[in-house]
Amino acid sequence: MLLDEIPSLDLADFRSTDPARKANFVQDLGHAFNTIGFVAIKGHGLSEPFTNSLYQQVETFFKSADEVKKPYEIAGISGQRGYVGKGKETAKGFNVPDLKEFYHVGQPFKEDGDSVWDEYPSNVFPNEFPEFEKYTVEAFQTLESAGKSLLQAIALYLELPEDYFEPRVVNGNSILRAIHYFPIENPDALPVGAVRAAAHGDINLITLLMGASAEGLEVLRMDGKWIAITALPDQLVVNVGDMLDRLT
């Protein structure tokens, strides 16, 4: 049966010591990903006060002048870290850039001797906003923890060892992306076909989306119908990606 809305689950069920709650979560998660590919998750670890402070830091940065933001757009790393300006990203199969700007924060460096650190660009944070690093790094780490729990549940649903994905995501090159869909002051001047974010698939294992400040997210069902997704403020929207398909 095709769904008209995405299921809502509580990650606390999977993290509980009750085997029945954990098993039910695993089956419900697997069913959601099999039928629509998306699920809304609460109990992920991001509190409302923290989320409000995080959004305040990010919003303050994006509202700053272009000359403040531009120094954090780092050449030669294809936008893997730091600021990426307006009109710089174009979805696969499209010729017109998306109407957005964003900021990337990657894996915080650890002194653990892992050679992977030689491959990753260093994070860059805006000096003008001293708490930007604090909130974005904590958000990264909390979401990474939630993502690992979800991967454990996926592994169990696929009848794999619970830690099947763990070696593949230790110090993984995940990215926290804060997106700003800036105001359109002159719609008539936009390129033909320009949109906020063009239709696309995700290459990742899984993607965790925090609640947006406005509606607009839609997902494509297997029958070709687009349905609007509205998550509650305390929920993440989670979807599976191409890497998960390849690994399993």
Residue 31 has pLDDT above 70, yes or no: yes
Task: Say which residue, 110 or 150, is predicted with more confidence.
Answer: 150
- Mean pLDDT value across residues 207-213: 78
pTM of the model: 0.88
| Percentage of the chain lying above the pLDDT 70 cut | 88
- Mean pLDDT value across residues 84-106: 82
pLDDT digits (tens, 9 = 90+) for 104-136: 999 998 888 899 999 999 999 999 999 999 999
| pLDDT at res. 218 | 78
Domain count, the chain: 1
| pLDDT at res. 211 | 73
CATH, residue 82: 2.60.120.330
| pLDDT at res. 138 | 98
- Mean pLDDT value across residues 201-207: 79
Confidence of residue 159 (pLDDT cuts 50, 70, 90): very high
In a domain, 1, yes or no: no
Residue 184 has pLDDT above 70, yes or no: yes
Residue 89 has pLDDT above 70, yes or no: yes
| pLDDT at res. 74 | 94
Confidence of residue 212 (pLDDT cuts 50, 70, 90): low
In a domain, 193, yes or no: yes
Residue 221 has pLDDT above 90, yes or no: no
- Mean pLDDT value across residues 193-213: 70
Task: Say which residue, 33 or 221, is predicted with more confidence.
Answer: 33
Q: What is the mean pLDDT of the chain?
A: 87
DSSP per residue, the chain? ---SS--EEEHHHHHSS-HHHHHHHHHHHHHHHHHTSEEEEE-SS--HHHHHHHHHHHHHHHHS-HHHHGGGB-TTTTTSSEEE-TT----TT-SS--S-EEEEEEPPP-SS--GGGGTSPPP---TT-TTHHHHHHHHHHHHHHHHHHHHHHHHHHTTS-TTTTHHHHTT---EEEEEE----S-GGGSPTT--SS------SSEEEEPPPSS---EEE-TTS-EEE----TT-EEEEE-HHHHHH-
| Domain with 175 in it | 8-247
- Mean pLDDT value across residues 51-76: 96
Q: Which two tokens stand for residue 12?
A: 């606390």
In a domain, 2, yes or no: no
In a domain, 20, yes or no: yes
Confidence of residue 37 (pLDDT cuts 50, 70, 90): confident
CA distances for 100 relative to 14, 36, 136, 194, 236, angstroms: 35, 27, 19, 11, 21
In a domain, 3, yes or no: no
In a domain, 90, yes or no: yes
